[in-house]
Amino acid sequence: MSSPVQMTVEDGIAVIEINNPPVNALSQAVRQGLIEAARAADADPDVKAIVVYGAGRTFIAGADIREFGKPPMPPGLPEVIDEFELVSTPTVAALHGTALGGGLETALGAHYRIALASGRFGLPEVHLGILPGAGGTQRLPRVVPIAKAVEMITGGGMIGAKEALALGLIDEIAEGDDIRAAGIAMARRLVSEGKGVRPLSAEEPNRVTAEEFETMRSMVAKKARGLIAPLNCMKAIEAGMTMPFTEGRQRERELIMELFASPQSGAMIHAFFADREVAKVPELKTGTPRNIAKMGVVGGGTMGAGIATSALLAGLDVTLAEREAEAAERAAATVQSHLAGAVKRGKLKQDAYDAIMGGKFRTTTDYNDFADADLVIEAVFESMEVKKDVFGQLDVICKPGAILASNTSYLNVDEIAAMTNRPEDVIGLHFFSPAHVMRLLEVVVGDKTSDDVVASGFALAKTMKKIAVRSGVCDGFIGNRILNAYAKAINGAVLAGASPYDVDRAMQDFGLAMGLFRVADLAGLDIGWANRKRKADSRDPNEQYAEFADRICELGRFGRKTGRGFYIHDKAKGELPDDEVLEIIARERADKGITPRAISDAEVIDRYMAAMINESAKVVGEGIALRPLDVDITLLNGYGFPRWRGGPLHYADTVGLDKVLNDIKTFAKEDTNFWQPAPLLEQLVADGKTFASLNR
């Protein structure tokens, strides 16, 4: 097999090409090829300078993440870069696309750097729960100021060529778009100017005082919220400032090994691949996406306005309908303010904003204006009757081939589709609030939805830069069905003795940005209340039903928007516990004959996770979600589940499925009705298998 790294000598310049599609990741063969090519070039007396560049769309996107967790295959990247840096021939890294992680570290091992103006650079390892372990934490602070190194290494973001040039991270921005030619031209210039090698490892690092560093460390620690990689990044940068290069490199090694040994990196690497795998659904092989340029949105409330914004940001034409002119005006104002915010944050260019306001976005009170829409999405009140009425009308008005989508978060998409003469064109597109911010989109596939329409839903998600997850039809689809299950378990914990404030603290310590009750107050308690009322008649009479949320709503307390809910929302003091809420809960316990007991944070989390995992297993077992990873991606991107825990089913594998099943059986002693083990979970435990085994 030919090596992915080839070297040619052109008139005294050795040109090393890395060709390992799609992103030139530093696989074992690339590392081996790179070091052999550098050695050969260095040993060739005719070679006066070396250029390394990537074939195809990018330089190097980093280490080959697929090799992580497998036995190491020499040569290791740190050794390769060290040796590459210490050749006696000046080397140029010629960069285009993205130089990320090990890719940027390789570039830092070269003596000079040139890049296309479109090039982007970063050390994203922290997003995988690790640190730049091939000298990046030692070499970058020898180029850029410590504060910038801290930002890039602990934040994992990318910078552009202009900023890289200003920082001295690259020496030149190339003219045109031929990076190979630009690299060779730079090498020739270096030779003619008699420039020699310039290894960064021989240079003094930038430094800050111990006090300044501690300030940076405490800011990083505050943001890290349970994630250990940023803290280890700080230790490695500190070592770079205080130790000679070789010792600093050794310390960096120890710190990355610690991170590899922690479950956090495994979880984040799982999330990286799952984010990409989730888009691989069967209908994409058989279906052809329809062209969607014009979109209609029915309903201009929070969801409708958010969806319209998201579509406009993606470049679509949008017509939004409301029943009354006044409501349409309000919706237009909401959309406009979202878009103005996007302009302010640099997410939307002023001319694009002007084009939107100049005609790409319209509001109407007449559904007939949807006649030429390619897709119409309904985001009206969550009532089957209302939705059926809307779909009946859309079916008559919309052109043949137009896709009719519902943003329902619970209702039966098949029942909605049955109102039309084109059920094959009907699909659920469940956005998450705020729709122009949240990345998740559940693509809900009905019994009759055609493959083309499913493929269109996925294509639309891509255009909108969202992560689409395929869901079958059931009450609440993947995400809200699981949410309902763990919310019931949490309510059970509250009835048993925990306070909502204990629960929120435990969930936040576990890594969630907000606990369940804080989120409920933020979203508005009236939404859940309406949903519970809708389902009251069909509720299982044997279910242990927690009433305290209903009691709070009956007092007109709907959370943040009314100033009171589970918390008192005080403008000056923030969120405060509410003794009246505790009294309501105490009364309910007394009515139900429950003697409250102390519930530890660990028990809160065990209940929360057991319920989440159990319902997730049912969702996978019933085929609502295609694979366990689809559930993980839903919870990670739509429900604030900490990425460094990898999602509920990855987490389940790490704690052990037998422990989860045992927990469920223990809790079932209190409420057999709710705690019914999922058949799939029982099967996996009996077979000694993991959820991960079903992802393949």
Q: Of 63-71, 403-411, 618-626, 681-689, which segment contacts ligand CAA by CB under 6 A?
A: 63-71
Among 29, 65, 147, 165, binds ligand CAA (CB under 6 A): 65
Among 17, 85, 125, 663, binds ligand CAA (CB under 6 A): 125
* Nearest Cα residue to 491 out of 618, 589, 419: 589
Q: 590-596 contacts: CB < 8 A, separation 24 or more? A: 592/495, 594/495, 594/496, 596/496, 596/497
Q: 393-396 contacts: CB < 8 A, separation 24 or more? A: 393/367, 394/298, 394/367, 394/370, 394/420, 395/419, 395/420, 395/421, 395/422
> Least distance from C-beta 25 to ligand CAA, angstroms?
4
682 as an active site residue: the answer is no
* Nearest Cα residue to 237 out of 159, 170, 139, 101: 139
Please, which residue, 63 or 581, has the CB nearer to ligand CAA?
Answer: 63
Q: Which residues of 379-394 are buried (b: 16+ CB within 10 A; e: fewer)?
A: bbebeeeebbebbebb
Q: Which two tokens stand for residue 613?
A: 């995992």
Q: Of 59-67, 111-119, 176-184, 601-609, which segment contacts ligand CAA by CB under 6 A?
A: 59-67
The Cα–Cα gap between 399 and 397 comes to: 7
Q: Of 98-106, 334-342, 600-608, 668-676, which segment contacts ligand CAA by CB under 6 A?
A: 98-106
Please, which residue, 281 or 549, has the CB nearer to ligand CAA?
Answer: 281
Cβ pair 168, 113 in contact under 8 A: no
> Least distance from C-beta 146 to ligand CAA, angstroms?
20
Among 4, 33, 54, 124, binds ligand CAA (CB under 6 A): 124
- Hey, is 122 helix, strand or coil? strand
Please, which residue, 107 or 405, has the CB nearer to ligand CAA?
Answer: 107
* Nearest Cα residue to 419 out of 391, 455, 457: 391
> Least distance from C-beta 131 to ligand CAA, angstroms?
8
Residue 504 in contact with ligand CAA, rule: CB under 6 A = no
Q: Of 128-136, 181-189, 209-217, 664-672, which segment contacts ligand CAA by CB under 6 A?
A: 128-136
Strand partners for 137 = none
> Least distance from C-beta 168 to ligand CAA, angstroms?
21
105 as an active site residue: the answer is yes
Of the CA atoms within 13 Å of residue 406, those in its CB half-sphere come to: 37
Q: Of 21-29, 500-508, 540-548, 619-627, which segment contacts ligand CAA by CB under 6 A?
A: 21-29
> Least distance from C-beta 313 to ligand CAA, angstroms?
18
Query: Looking only at residues 162 through 201 of this chain, which bind ligand CAA when binding is defined by CB under 6 A?
Result: none
Q: Of 83-91, 126-134, 159-167, 429-437, which segment contacts ligand CAA by CB under 6 A?
A: 126-134
Among 99, 100, 295, 298, binds ligand CAA (CB under 6 A): 100
**Residue 132 Cα distances to 33, 245, 263, 560, angstroms:** 21, 15, 18, 42
- Hey, is 493 helix, strand or coil? helix
Among 17, 82, 105, 502, binds ligand CAA (CB under 6 A): 105
C-alpha torsion 228→234→237→242, nearest 10: -120
The Cα–Cα gap between 308 and 314 comes to: 10
Among 2, 22, 579, 591, binds ligand CAA (CB under 6 A): 22
The Cα–Cα gap between 49 and 41 comes to: 8
The Cα–Cα gap between 407 and 432 comes to: 9
Phi, then psi, of 267 in degrees rounded to 5? -65, -45
Please, which residue, 257 or 536, has the CB nearer to ligand CAA?
Answer: 257
Among 20, 98, 232, 264, binds ligand CAA (CB under 6 A): 98
Q: Of 64-72, 217-225, 309-317, 591-599, which segment contacts ligand CAA by CB under 6 A?
A: 64-72
Query: What's the chain's Rg over C-alpha atoms?
Result: 28
Looking at 207-366, list the stretches that DSSP marks H as alpha helix, in order from N- to C-terminal side: 210-224, 229-242, 245-261, 263-277, 283-286, 302-313, 325-344, 350-355
Count of residues of this chain found to bind ligand CAA when the rule CB under 6 A is applied:
23
> Least distance from C-beta 311 to ligand CAA, angstroms?
21
Please, which residue, 100 or 303, has the CB nearer to ligand CAA?
Answer: 100
The Cα–Cα gap between 488 and 492 comes to: 6
> Least distance from C-beta 24 to ligand CAA, angstroms?
9
- Each residue 66-95 as x (binds ligand CAA by CB under 6 A) or -, in order, gives x----------x------------------
Please, which residue, 66 or 539, has the CB nearer to ligand CAA?
Answer: 66
The Cα–Cα gap between 152 and 136 comes to: 10
* Nearest Cα residue to 304 out of 270, 331, 340, 343: 331
- Each residue 130-169 as x (binds ligand CAA by CB under 6 A) or -, in order, gives --xxx-x---------------------------------
> Least distance from C-beta 232 to ligand CAA, angstroms?
13
> Least distance from C-beta 136 to ligand CAA, angstroms?
6
Query: Looking only at residues 270 through 329 of this chain, which bind ligand CAA when binding is defined by CB under 6 A?
Result: 276
The Cα–Cα gap between 313 and 282 comes to: 28
Angle between helices 601-621 and 500-510 (to 10 degrees): 70
> Least distance from C-beta 88 to ligand CAA, angstroms?
25
Residue 465 in contact with ligand CAA, rule: CB under 6 A = no
> Least distance from C-beta 66 to ligand CAA, angstroms?
5
Residue 236 in contact with ligand CAA, rule: CB under 6 A = no
Q: Which two tokens stand for residue 658?
A: 């037998």
**Residues 10, 17, 67, 105: which is the catalytic one?**
105
**Residues 17, 85, 125, 575: which is the catalytic one?**
125
Can you tell me which residue has the tokens 């270096």? 190
Please, which residue, 100 or 339, has the CB nearer to ligand CAA?
Answer: 100
Cβ pair 414, 473 in contact under 8 A: yes
> Least distance from C-beta 551 to ligand CAA, angstroms?
48
The Cα–Cα gap between 287 and 290 comes to: 9
Cβ contacts of 442 within 8 Å, gap of 6 or more: 428, 429, 430, 468, 469, 471, 477, 478, 479, 634, 638
Please, which residue, 128 or 584, has the CB nearer to ligand CAA?
Answer: 128
Please, which residue, 61 or 490, has the CB nearer to ligand CAA?
Answer: 61
The Cα–Cα gap between 575 and 619 comes to: 35
Residue 565 in contact with ligand CAA, rule: CB under 6 A = no
Residue 259 in contact with ligand CAA, rule: CB under 6 A = no
- Each residue 24-53 as x (binds ligand CAA by CB under 6 A) or -, in order, gives -x----------------------------
Looking at 156-194, list the stretches that DSSP marks H as alpha helix, in order from N- to C-terminal side: 161-167, 179-192
Q: Which parts of this chain interact with ligand CAA (CB under 6 A)?
A: 22-23, 25, 61-66, 77, 98, 100-102, 105, 124-125, 128, 132-134, 136, 276
Which residues have a catalytic role annotated?
105, 125
